[in-house]
Structure 1
Amino acid sequence: MADSGMSSAEEIERRVAQYLRGEVSFQEFDAFRQERGIQSFVQLAPQPGTSTGGLTGVGQTGRLLPTMGEGGGAAAPSYNDDSDDDDYLDNDDSAKRGDDSDEDDENEEEMEVVEEEGSSTTNPVDTSLTAKYLEGKLSFSEFAELMEQEENDGKETPKPAAAEPSKKGVDISEAFSLELALEQEERKGRKRPKRRRINEVPKPLRGLMGEANLRFARGKYDDAIKMCMEVIRQVPHCYEPFSTAAMVYEEKGDMERSLQFALIAAHLNPQDPEEWVKLAEVSLEQNNISQAITCYKKALRYDPNNIGILWEQANLLEQTQEPRKALEGYQQILKLLPEKEGNKYMDLMRDMSKTYHATGETETAIETMQAAFTKHPTLVTFEDVNMLTELYITMKQYRHVLEAMSSYCSVQLSWQGGVTDTMAALDRLGMPDTGQQETQVMQCTIPPETPIDLSIKLAVSLVHLRYLGAAKPLVDMLLQESAEDMGDLYLDIAEAYVDVGEYDSARPILAMLVNTDRYNLAAVWLRYAECLNALGKTEHAVQSYAKVVEMAPSHLGARLSLSALQQQLGRPEEALQALSEGAPAAMPTAVETAAEVSSQPGPDVQLLHHKSTLLYSQGRMEDFLDSSLLMLSKYFEEAYQQQNLQLVVTKLTSRRRKYQLNALRDEPGGTRQGRHVVDLSGKLSSISKLEWWDLLCKASRCLARLGRTEEVEHLTMAALASPQFEKDAAKQKELKYMVLSACCLNKNYRMAYFFVRPMIMENTEVNQLWNVFCQITTSSEDARHHRFCLRLMIKNQNNIALSFLNGHNSLISGTYKHALGEYVRAYRLDPGNPMSLLLIGVTFFHMASQKYTIKRHFVLVQGMSFLNEYLIQRGETQEAYYNVGRALHQLGLEHLAIHYYQKALHMNPPDVGDTKYSYLLDLRREIAYNLALIYSNSGSKNLAKLLLDQYCVV
């Protein structure tokens, strides 16, 4: 029988699935239903199951179960309890009482309802989050935040679109509506189903919930908790089991667990703000401030105008270092406070204004005080006005100071034009500045009970508004007081005079302050020195600045000003001393090792920069280098410390250089393996990039002039390897030229060749680069450049410099025919160039000097013809005659060589206009020596000695 029932149920499920998929029409499906006598396809009245097995149908899967006719299916299991019948009756009575309460609540607006006979609605509580919270993996604040996010996501989820029609054209929604129409007559006679809240325990579980409450009342706490957990398992969206469990745990003394369940119950039934306040107080007892803040936040959601809750929440926010959020709460309190609580309003306003000012929101502080003054003008005190005017002065709103003083302190302004009304006078303050303010204000009258600090704030505002005449009586009143007692007010008015350039008025006030005991401070002396300097009293200003440096050695501005004044007075040593005091006694040089460096703090970078500039202007290069290298080594610190900088700078791109630099640094001992860098105080960014570049160029030139070529090479390489100038393409290019020059000076021709090669490839027409290239290749005695020149010639066949270089390389190698070809190429490119004629003639002479040369005389004649052409183009010059004579001397034609040597010997060197280097172009010593060799070989010893004594002996 059971098998037939199961097969019958499976058949019904199969037909239902076919109908829902549209495989059968509604007519066919309805005929099948009538044939089987099926009343409904939903189990409408599930019965409670056993205490261990839970309930069938409620809180489980949404599977459709047919309700069969007689013997149509298995009956639902019954609930068996080992308690007596009285307990069960009590449960039934409680269930009935629950039904009555449901009927009373059925018309409430905030009630979300479901039919009692229907299936459970969607569960609004994420059971996984609840489990994590109960296990202590989440705090309640996090739990509440996550639940709110899920609720918001659920609200924003769009409604599903209407179902598409089935294959046979039947809409599923239409089919269900037809089925409901068939049963409409039967439903008319039924009683309207009761409605309940979605977060209340459903009727099938009320008996179990009542049993749990009964067990709790009888002191059977463990059984009550088990029953509550069973209800929670099946309907986790109901608050009642959580609330009961919280009370059970509280009776057991487990307050932490009780609070957890109570918080979940409150979250499921959040409309009671008093419950949230109670939970907040319990959280505070457990020293959980963040959880208490969350509880107060929940309470304010349902009672936003509760001043007490707002106050408690704001106080807690202040304790958690969240002043901005606390101030938002206090602002809400100010709006809600009644008129009769004006004193409380003003006290809160004062605290808020101080907090706003401390957090940098001075404008908001002013707005808060203005609102309070407007709402409770009779409660405004002098202290309040003092605070407001101080905020106005901070924001440089001096006109508002006068407005506040006139409104709340009875200050009156009278004008020369006959205007005695104070407000009208204040309106004139807003008029354009005509430069006649000094004569407009005639008198400023203040009540005698006005505190002196308010009077001085009024005077400060008048001074800044350039109404000096009106401010003078107030200042005179202050000067009658003791500077020892009123020094802060003295300083306020003096600074106001200094700010507007009234140094004559500020000087006597500052002089009185510096002679007191309490205000004999560096800040006051600094103001006094600035005032004296502005008045042209340089000597007195120097003394005042020296006093500031003595009292505050680390004050940078005072040192710089003192140094500038000493330099202005013609005291360079004192100027340097002003920049050096307070620095380490023995400054280490940039090349000293770590063991030699003092443990004292390094000098300030700005002081060091000014000192370097001063030393450079005085021409003290050694001292300048000591200071500048300290700064530059720190600026290029990461690269300057490395010894193997050549491995870094040989990388073509800045990215590769940075990678190589990091690789060297990561090597064992790589960070400090090279030169030591002294730590400096102050920010390197306080000096601009342009100033750093200027300092680098000056230091490089000085090192080169002093012959410290190794240091200049290391410095320029460190600058190139450092990322400081990598984003400036122009400076990167100039740095490469600086490194090239430094390598040439240090005779590091291998590195110089590496840098000059790409420069040559980019600028093949620049003769200066070719000259440097020739100097490098000649000095290095390396043949690597031969193939480079040949490959470059393929791309630049019309380059004369390349033709000469390839010809020179071939000439040195002894391949004269190849050299002759390159020289002829150069001659064809520039026939008027005497250099190519000379080189072609010399090459022919070399070929004629070879042992196995055929047609030697023909080669000599060709060589002489080119030399004669060279002589014609160069003209009668010492150089031309010497070159021809030297060529004939090599061939052994000494009688002809003597002729050209003597002509060259009696000619003056070329006039280059620079007598310092003109001796380099004078060939008479070389000519005399060659002639002496010829005379000596021919036996004319005396003539040879005469030439040597005349031209070659120093």
Structure 2
Amino acid sequence: MDEYVRKERSPLELLDDEPVGECSDAEVDEEELNNFLMGDVLVGGDGRHKPKLSFAEKYVRKLMRRGRRGTTKIASTTRKKRKRKTAAHASKLTPQLEKLMQQATTHYLCGNFKDAIKTLKEVVRRAPGLHDPFHMLGLIYQEEYNDPVTATGYYLLAAHLVQTDLELWKRIAEMSQDLGNVDQAIYCFKKCLRNNEGEPNEEAIFSLAMCYLEKQDHPNAIKKLHFLFDLHPDDGLLLHELCKSLTIVGDKETLLAVLQTYYDSTGDLDAAQRACQLQLTLAQYTECSDFVQFVANKLQTQIVKLPLPMIVAYVVSMLHTDVEPVTELSTIWNMNDVTPIMVYSIALAMAQRCPEKALQWFYKAYRKDDPTTVRAMTAQQGIQMAKCLIIVEKNSDTAEQLLAKLLEREPNNSELIILMADILELGGKHAKSDELLGRLTTTDLDRLKMIQKPIEPGERHAELMYLIDAVYTLLNACFSEIKYRPAPCLLAQNDNKRNTEDFCAILKSTNQWIDRFLRIVNDCELDTERTYQKLSTSKANRNQNDDVSQEYNELRKDVGKNYSFLRTKKDLGLQSVEDIIGWKHYESLLESATALMAMAGRSKEGVQLLEIIANNKKRYKSNTDIVERKHMLTTVENLIFKLSCFGGIYKVALGHARSDFVNTGNLKRYAALLGSGTLAKAALSALSSSSEKDALLENRSWVTRQLLLKPYNFDLLMVAGHFCTMSGNWPFALEEYRRALMQRPKDHVAALCLAVNYFNSLSSKVVEDNKKNVVMAMAFLQYSLELRKDSTQTHPYSGVYHAECLYNLGRAMHFINMLHIAVPLYEKCIETIRQLENTYKEVKNQDALQCPCIICDICRKSDVKFPHEVHGLAEGQFVWEYERKHILRVSAIFNSITQNTGRSI
């Protein structure tokens, strides 16, 4: 096999539609050589960048060179290429090359740089594997022409020829930093992280960390800085940079460990103080008090002799553990340099257990006429002080003034607003109280467990009747014609019909209907929460009255467990959607609303509402409508999945698909998601550089866990094999596909995947016997082709499948560099397709494919039977119209080859 076979291959490259060619360094002119060496470097620079040759042009040049040579280069399949540790030795140079190098050196020393460059390029043309010409070219462009961009390019070529030249890698990295090419600097610094003895190169590691910081890549910077900090735990610069990055990413636990390590190494009390503050932030009160005691013991002194911030931290931590440090409190009280922030933190820790003493500490720092004391107080501290004022002194005026000042600084703080409204309500200032409560948002209400007043039953009934009457008109306007269908519906058209005035009017009416629907349904779904709130209050009251509690329990035993929920809901006068229109009509209304929200591009709102409905119905306690409720819950779960798929909310969709697999053992939904949308596009590249790397890695872990529970599931084995292929783990992929083929020996896809991975494994360094893998690959490929042929014999377009088999076999021959077999197979494939043109030209396919999207799914269920299927995308027509074009793409390449060479390959 040729040498390029052993290079890394992307997953399933055997099935790519473009063959991989071979590059030779012989018979290349100076202009082509300059473009080859410096093309990527000069992109975006000056005007020396030339356009790249097409694949066909490169392939023709290669064949012409091969014809002149008259021989074919054949590489050994067993002998591995040794890694060259140094540049080409002078002893290996021919006398002519030595003479040229001497001439280039002479030109360089004499200042004839143009002649030196010309001579060096001639050396490169004759011996492109030498290190010294590239290095000297870089030196000339850097020092004499002051062209660091070109110099960096030549240095990179020299460095790749001598991988162990660490100083050269470092120089390139520093030049790249100066040029602002941080990515290239990172790449070069990674090449010199260890010296020739295998020891860490600390200077390069630190420079790499600085590059990561320049890119705002703090996680990677933290890894490098933490490695250096472990080697030098007393380095203040490392501590500063590491703490800064850890603070940005919010990793307080690691930051605390770093500060404590630095203190252990240096005894720096500033680091100890910062560690104490972090422990208080993390609510590690016991650890904080122990750490302060440890510092005092290490210094052989008392706690009151430590710096003031550490004494305050010790007092706060002890107060939170219900221990009052009398000595330390007395010491802080008598100090003159105590800041208001310190006093407020002590008072806050004391407020719950002793509001009287806490108020004294608040008064020690608070001055209503001093704005600095107000600015030093946090919202939580102000709330506690106001509560202490009301509890201890009944001083609502001072509390109101304090909260008013804090609200000027934080006007949207919900806790301040509610406490201020309560105080105003107690003082009879109802208008101001209502005005304050009007600032609260729905998020604030949900967080504070405050539920808005329900819509009146009469208004609910009227709104629901309007929604039911208007929905049929909207459905007819939106779905009767396919020109308004949005992507990713298969019926969608690219003729901009959705930008017309007619559709804009329809869309406006649809959005108005959706707004009214969301308002009424969201309010009705809050009835469950309202009922449970009332239940918790009633339960607390009954527990205080033993007689009432006993009577209630006896009554509940008689009528059933759901008595309390239904009775409370009835007492509150709440009628939800299912109570007004019934479960069946509610389910139908939800389906129609979901389709309209998908049509209007409001999938996210729809998924949120459906999730709320599903959660509430799971909490709904009633034995009277259990069958209808379960049926509706199943429908809602299905709507969530389809709407999230339609709107591209893949995390929600994957969660439901996984749940479906766990419950039913069917992986169809999950596999369909992985094979569509952004996840499918991301799978075309290597997993390490994928745009959806995190999502794919998380799903790979889930598949691995499921395989432990179901090791013989064919679908799981295939998905696991695909993930291993994306990662380039050919041995693991082979094992998964082999197990899958054992489960279904007649599955041609599993056999083809197994064959492809045997071909890919030829580039792996761990493969011991390449010949065996070639034999196995060809055997399974032939087996898959036979299975494919048997399964498509009765298909109306079976000839196209035959061409597909020829194409796959040709790609296999091409992969192992057997072009004398591959090219005839390609030509036969193309000839087969062309012969089928006349045969299938008059065939009319009446098959129709049903679109699986949420809109078409609702249209199928509708009584009107709106359009929901598409012609021309059924299996037979799809094979002919699309796979035929895919195969014909190779014809242009080989036609160009045969015309330019004047002979058949």
Q: Is TM more than 0.5 here?
A: no
Larger radius of gyration: 1
Which structure has more RCO (C-alpha within 8 Å, separation ≥ 6)?
2
The normalised TM-score by structure 1 is 0.41
| Greater percentage in helix | 2
